[in-house]
Amino acid sequence: MAVTFVDAAQAPFEALWTIEQGAHAMPWSESLLRSCLSTPYWGEAMQADGVVGFYLFQQVLDEVTLMNICIEPARQGEGLGSVLLQRALSRAVEAGAVQCFLEVRASNLSALALYQKMGFVEDGRRKGYYPTADGREDAVLMSRSLT
């Protein structure tokens, strides 16, 4: 499957917004997604017969934080998440980053498995950080060296 990448800020916002809403049980607000498409944030949209996913980083000096990464629900399970995350990490290195941080819902087992496969390790947890439909759940804090 051929995929291409474009600057997330240049991708059709409606496509990103639709993916965000479908990929997460508790998606970001429209205003938050829009705000992460400009400095100091950066990222790319993955295209394969239209936009199928995206990632967004915040960079401070030589560290990046993966703010968001998602794949269109209908395309999940095809290995696109691995392709997208590998691309994101490569681009972070090109941007001079030496460390990558992220947080993920403790219930997001597929994301946790992907991050672990890509060399991320758990650094800690924020207890009860994320809202859920029936309460709260932990945020798993993870990091990976990029050198």
Residue 3 DSSP label: -
**103 flagged as catalytic:** yes
**115 flagged as catalytic:** yes
Going through 48-108 in order, the beta strands assigned E by DSSP cover 51-60, 63-71, 99-105
Check the annotation: does 108 bind a ligand: yes
Q: Give me the catalytic one of 20, 115, 130, 137.
A: 115
Compute the distance between CA of residue 69 and CA of residue 71 in angstroms, rounded to an integer. Answer: 7
Rg, Å, the chain Cα set: 15
H or E stretch including 32? helix 30-35
- For residues 38-62, b (16+ Cβ closer than 10 Å) or e, as one string? eeebbbbbbbbeebbbbbbbbbeee
Q: Give me the catalytic one of 44, 72, 103, 137.
A: 103
Compute the distance between CA of residue 111 and CA of residue 38 in angstroms, rounded to an integer. Answer: 25
- Binding positions are 108
- Binding positions for acetyl-CoA are 108
Annotated active-site positions, please? 103, 115
